[in-house]
Structure formats: structure tokens, C-alpha cells
Structure 1
Amino acid sequence: MASKVNSHKHRQTFINTTFESSIDSTAVEEKLFGHSVEEDDGPAVFICGKCKLPVGDSMSWDGSEASEEEHNQIRLKRVTDNVVVGEDTRLHEVSKKSPCLVVDLFCRGCEFLLGMVYSSTPKNLDHKRLAFCFNVANIDSYVLGSASQRLAAEGPKEQPVTLEYRGVVEQQLTEMKMLVMSMAQRLEDIDATLQD
């Protein structure tokens, strides 16, 4: 029983330290893709690939990797409460010379496997340690501000109401009023002529 308590305390300490990282994610991102995350259209929200619950966002970006030995991954410093850190540590071999100890990450809503946290790595993989590593194939993303669909305008040339536009409309209304008054005067004249 005492060993379970100690193991639980160790795991709790491990989970709390995953929110810290000393890696410069901007440099890694520029080397991998030739641009930084900040240059994109807007911040991205990462969601579970199965049930679509949000799991993190690009404001917590720590880097990404694409390699032949392993799945494409993104790393985040922080995640939402929808991500559950597994309890069992397992051996994961990125390559034959790079064994690692990892803990799986699951979606709280559907228990879908999202990725892993590397708890122990060889020196060449230290940049992955204690970060939330999501498999790109298991998550989706939405870039804020990327929506482009709009409702069709009711008129062919709808314009916003500005002071200039308002002045043009008032002038047209004044001209129409004068025309109607002129026509009314002519009708009165015609009516008077017919009655005589």
C-alpha cells in the first residue's frame, strides 16, 4: 500500500512538471517548416480526432517533428482538462538505438489515444521530454479567423451606412419629395381646370 502511495505521489509530481519546458519552440518551428507559428493566419485550436473535444491550442506550442521512424507529432507545453495522462509507463522505441519511457495521452470524452508524454529519453530526444506530444493523425485543428462563409446580401449592392452614404440617400429622398410635390401640384391644376 505504501509503495502505491509513493508511486502516486511520484506520478503527481511528474504531471505537474510537464507544464515547464526550456526548449525555444520558435527556433525549432523555423528549422522544421521555414516559418514560425506566429506568422500563420491566427491561433489554432487542436481537437480530438474522434469526438472533437478541444485538447490544446497553439498558444502552448512547443514544436513539431516529422520523421520516418515515428509518427508526425506536435508538442504542447499545456493542454486542456480533456486530456488524460495514462497511469502506465511503457517502453517506446523511436529507433533501435533510442528506447524511451512514455505515458500515453487519452481523450477524456472518448478515451481515444491522442499521443504520449516522454518521461525518459536518450540525450538526442531530450527536447521531447516532459511535453505533451500529440500524434498529428489522431487530432484535428481549427485556425481561428479562418471562417469564410457569409450570408448572401439581400440587395445586389448593399453598402454599409456611413455618413457619406447617408448624405446621398437624404439627397435622393429630397429630390423624390420635390418630384412628388410637383406632380401633386400639377394634378391639382388639372383637377381645377376640369372643374371649370
Structure 2
Amino acid sequence: MDLLNSIGGQHGNSRFVLGIDGLSRSGKTTLVQQLRFELEKEDRPYQIFHLDDFIVERARRYHTGSEEWQEYFHLQWDVEWLSNHFFQKLKAEEQITLPFYEGSRDTHDDRTIPLPKEGLIIIEGVFLQREEWRHFFDKIIYLDCPRETRFNRESNETKKNRSKFENRYWKAEDYYINRYHPAESADIMITS
């Protein structure tokens, strides 16, 4: 499958912002690696961002007094900050400085990333079609994958804590699916 042609091929003399949306373990990273391969083969400019690089510190997303699923959906990222300092700047800026999360230290390191003058900007992550972000994308691909298939892709150690999935991740995913209908709202839906 020629992924670049399926998303629209050439994008003229501007930046094209592509979202790769899907729930955890749906195959987003694998799809992004395929896109990277095709872009490099065709010598086309691009930049890739992983939304999980911009999560907030643990104290802001765990044990906040909110239900676990709400912490995951509403507090995992600073949605407003990302809207104003990341998404809003993708089309116009030559470079962008972002706080990359360092999990082992639970801190952020600012990094400045150059943006291609023309080309594809790919953003991979969950919940990309939330109302605060959807309008920043030129096109969104949604990877639809059954919950049990995704759960079976987790490590055996991770699978031992099924209650975390039931209380945190799956309730947030259900909220996202029921409120935003990502499979139907995406420009392209891929079953993985």
C-alpha cells in the first residue's frame, strides 16, 4: 500500500499536518515507521512528533482526586498549552521549542525542532480528534483495532495490572469513542 498516495500524495508548496490517531497499541508507531520509510525513499521533507513525548509530570496526572479515566483523558497532556504552543505553530514557524518528557526523571527537557519549509508533519497519538485539536490537522488517519487485540500486544508484566486498564485507559477510550466517534470522523480509517 502506498501510504503517501492514500493520504493525498503531493501537498504543494506548504506544510501538510497529518494525524495518526488510534487507541493504545493499535499500530500507530508501525504506521508512522512505514510513512517515514516512504518519505525517505522519495526524499521528501518531513517531521514526526509523538504526542506521548509531551505528557505532563506524574503529580499532574495521577492521584489528583479525579477518576483515573478522567486523569488520563483530561490531564495526561496540557491540552490548552499544546494547542497554543505546538499545534498552532506548526504551519508558520521555522522551528518549534517543546518540553519533551523524561520519564525516568519525571521532568521535561526543552528541545528545538526544525520544521520543513514544505512537507509533511506527522503527529502520532491518542485522542487527536478531541475538539481542541481536530481543526489543526489537514487529514487524520484513525487505526481501528479491537480492545482484546490491543491488550494482547502488551507485555505479560503489563497485562497483570488489568484493573489499571479497566479503570484508567479503557474508560477514557470509551469516553473518546462515544463522544468523538473517531473511526467515523477520521478522513481515513484503517483496521489493524
- TM (norm. structure 2) is 0.21
Q: Which has the higher strand share?
A: 1
- TM (norm. structure 1) is 0.21
Q: Which has the larger radius of gyration?
A: 1
Higher relative contact order (CA 8 A, sep 6+): 2
